[in-house]
Amino acid sequence: MEVASGGVTGPSRNSVAFWLLGLCNNFAYVVMLSAAKDILEKDAIHIEKPCRPSVTTRECHFLSTGSVLLADIIPALLIKITAPMFIHRVPFGIRHSIVVFLQAASFLIVGISDSTWLALFGVVLASFGSGLGEISYLALTSNYPSTVVASWSSGTGGAGLIGASTYALLTDSKLLAISPKHTMFVMLSLPILFSFSYWSILQIPRSVHRAHFLQPSTWISSDEIRTDGRRIQEEEAEGLLESQETVEVGSRELTKLEKTLPLLKYMIPLISVYLAEYYINQGLLELLEFDCSHGFGMSSESQYRWFQVTYQMGVFVSRSSSNYISIPTKYLTTLAILQIFNAVFFTFTAIYTFLPHIFLAFFIIFFEGLLGGASYVNTFRAVHREIPVESREFSMGVVSISDTIGIVFAGFLAMPVHNRICAMPL
């Protein structure tokens, strides 16, 4: 097998590339959720209140962070629903350039904005970019060995952990104490790494259409779908995959409907998992507050940030361990049931505040992240493993909307539940 520059073999190099693509693609999405309170308040200087010696009243914002969640996810859902019908005509290189541009614009707009509505527009751009990126890069994995799916999933998990931790560390008044505005400008370094990962690290197989800037005729891919079984064979020379047969698309719409129905067994459990966990994260966790002696002396704002970091840590661990621990398809529903149980538990916890110490909250939130990450990566590995090669690229794109649908439902559920609990006496 040919060795890439720097002594890294082709498959290893592609795994690194997909890990970085997953990291960069989800980074803006995670940062926007971590910055939700700052976006709603638009404070120029980050001010952190001290912990409360005794928590006797609820501290609630008029707007739930679920409103930022909806701005951060609905555009991605629109992209994921509509894109599978036409996105194959747009070369991957052009898609990548659009994603990078949208990410950079989102950081810049949120950073310079002085109004909540303009900042939310920046969040919307980040959502469009992450949605287009996810459906594109997951479809691109169909041209590579299945190991890159695990790399992509690990990278997206890393985005959660690194993104949430970075924002918390930069804005924490006891650490770097950088204002949220300037933190967004620091994040502009991410689009540079994003571009480098695709154009300089990833080895693009010959089966993938390439667009050339000076040749407009290459900006649109042929209206054909490559489906040869040899697409999943690894080239001995470069470790890449190729396809040689094409299938005309005369009855494409009917075929897509027929291909979508069998995917529901993968989609419904994943939708349920994400509905439950984002209902917890954006509707309930901001209502949990521990006093100084039971919350490690952290303020309520700090507790919320580190709840998010703990959740993302669980996601990262489970997504990164999929090459060692694989969950059979028949148990994906079990993961959904466990996550729904977590949602019910945290609902009662937010209402009755019966957890004695924040450590227990961290432990359960970490478990919540483990379930979410395991459901995500094992669902896509199951699709990659069980769906015939001629339908795989389309199927990966369709199933990728499942988490987004669940998150949208969670956002609409989180806001009224948040307001209802806030109206209750403690």
Q: What is the DSSP track for 39-78?
A: HHH--SS---PPPPSS--S----SS-THHHHHHHHHHHHH
Spatial distance between the Cα atoms of 295 and 96, rounded to a whole number of angstroms: 43
Query: What's the DSSP call for residue 173?
Result: T
Most confident of the following: 209-218, 254-263, 353-362: 353-362
Spatial distance between the Cα atoms of 68 and 308, rounded to a whole number of angstroms: 15
% pLDDT > 90, the chain:
34
State the pLDDT at residue 386. Answer: 81
State the pLDDT at residue 98. Answer: 93
- Is residue 42 within 8 Å of 113, Cβ to Cβ? yes
Query: What are the structural domain ranges in the chain?
Result: 3-422
Local confidence band at 412 (pLDDT 50, 70, 90 cut-offs): very high
State the pLDDT at residue 300. Answer: 81
Spatial distance between the Cα atoms of 58 and 60, rounded to a whole number of angstroms: 6
In order, the DSSP letters of 328-339 are -GGGHHHHHHHH
Spatial distance between the Cα atoms of 172 and 192, rounded to a whole number of angstroms: 25
Spatial distance between the Cα atoms of 179 and 168, rounded to a whole number of angstroms: 11
Residue 311 or 223, more confident:
311
Class of domain 3-422: mainly alpha
Local confidence band at 73 (pLDDT 50, 70, 90 cut-offs): confident
CA distances from 352 to 302, 355, 362 (A): 21, 9, 18
Assessment of whether the complete model's pTM goes beyond 0.85: no
Which residues lie below 8 Å from residue 306, measured CB to CB, with a gap of 6+?
A: 168, 298, 362
Local confidence band at 101 (pLDDT 50, 70, 90 cut-offs): very high
Most confident of the following: 271-275, 395-399, 406-410: 271-275
225 beta partners = 247
For 226-236, what is the mean pLDDT?
41
State the pLDDT at residue 239. Answer: 40
Tokens 């190991």 sit on residue:
147
For 140-151, what is the mean pLDDT?
84
State the pLDDT at residue 194. Answer: 94
% pLDDT > 70, the chain:
83
Q: What is the distance between the terminal CA atoms of the chain, rounded to a whole angstrom?
A: 65
Nearest to 141 by CA among 129, 128, 154: 154
In order, the DSSP letters of 224-263 are -EE--GGGGSPPTTTS------EE--TTHHHHHHHHHGGG
